[in-house]
Amino acid sequence: MTGRAAKVPSRMLGMVGPRAEKNVNLALQGGGAHGAFTWGVLDYLLEDGRLAIEAITGASAGAMNAVVLVEGWLEGGRDGAREQLRKFWKRVSLDGSLSPVQRSLFDHFLNYWSGAHASTSLWGGAFSNLTSPYDLNPLDINPLRDALNEMINFERVRACRDTKLFVSATNVWTGKIHVFTAPELTVDHVLASACLPTIFKAVEIDGEPYWDGGYTGNPALFPLFYETEADDILLVQINPVERQVTPRTAEEIRSRLTEITFNANLLYELRAIDFVRRLIDEGKLSTDEYKRVLMHRIHGGSELDVYAASSRLDARWEFFKKLKDLGRASARTWLSKNYQALGRESTLDLSNA
């Protein structure tokens, strides 16, 4: 966690508005349809207007929310960002304009997160050991490509200097995380971040294949240590860490394995933050060389966790709006309780991470 960025408290950073008072970095998890919860969180934070967003890191659905937010911001500020997020989630809903083939694949993308891999479904076979997307989806049809190409001006996003963007993907050859930044982003980088290997072919970038960034960083926090000035990281978490129940059915087991896998690297980074912060507080490390990160988290709690299985394949617009409303309510509650702590102390207890 070296490479301490210089503090510049006298100026605001990133996406700002007339009410912006405090700088934060956002970390957005991926998690299928539950990314609509993050949409709600972002919608409320933008409406509230008191936070200046210096940087955003995201994986999978979190990366899509991040890029869509930035595109909307560049078009019309906070209101533009809110509207672009709404349009995106409407676009990929059952009530949107996806073709039947695209809809089938998008449903299956969400189905991955539910663990409900029905063997009677044609696409359900993609989750067995006998088939692969290279067999069942040889044309590599990806419904998200069209949606992103239609809604995102990537040339403008690459030129954005209002906020920093970090999109993570997993290099298939090395097994390591690769974090792409705004100046290099194309639709392929975002699709790579959301490339579930049982559904889509690996996305090739500069001759190397990439899979979903959630396998190695959901989301990656370390870019926010080295390349930003704000000490505060606000994590929007949509995958539960703990479940006080033992999964027994095949669907429950797959679902829990997915949650554990996609939380593993995040927990590792949270433990690292806690370790470095304790050494700083004990005087063993200097803040001239190490960043004392202040961690915060917005999550849906039991109200979101109850949807962990079958609902993650629910692409109905009404369901997306329900998750959005939950995200807005969660953000409102968190901000009301913790706003004064920003810039001063962490509100997320990392001792048990």
- CA–CA separation, 191 vs 59, rounded Å? 10
Task: State the pTM of this model.
Answer: 0.87
* DSSP letter assigned to residue 183: G
Residue 298: is its pLDDT beyond 80? yes
Write down the pLDDT at residue 116: 43
Rounded to 5, what percent of the chain is helix, strand, coil? 50, 15, 40
What phi and psi, each to the nearest 5 degrees, are found at residue 300? Answer: -85, -5
Backbone angles phi, psi at 18, to 5 degrees: -65, -25
User: 142 or 202, which is more confident?
Assistant: 202
Instruction: Return the C-alpha torsion angle 87, 28, 70, 99, nearest 10.
Output: -30
Hey, which bits of 45-175 come out as E strands? 51-58, 164-171
Note whether 30 and 216 are within 8 A (CB): no
Find out whether 296 and 234 touch, Cβ atoms under 8 Å: yes
Residue 60's nearest CA partner among 205, 156, 203 is 203
Q: What band does 221 get if pLDDT is binned at 50, 70 and 90?
A: very high
Arithmetic mean of pLDDT, 185-212: 94
pLDDT average, residue stretch 220-249: 92
Sign of CA dihedral 54, 165, 85, 299: negative
Cα(195)–Cα(211) distance, integer angstroms: 5
pLDDT digits (tens, 9 = 90+) for 81-106: 999 999 999 998 876 555 565 555 55
The chain-wide mean pLDDT, for the chain, equals 84
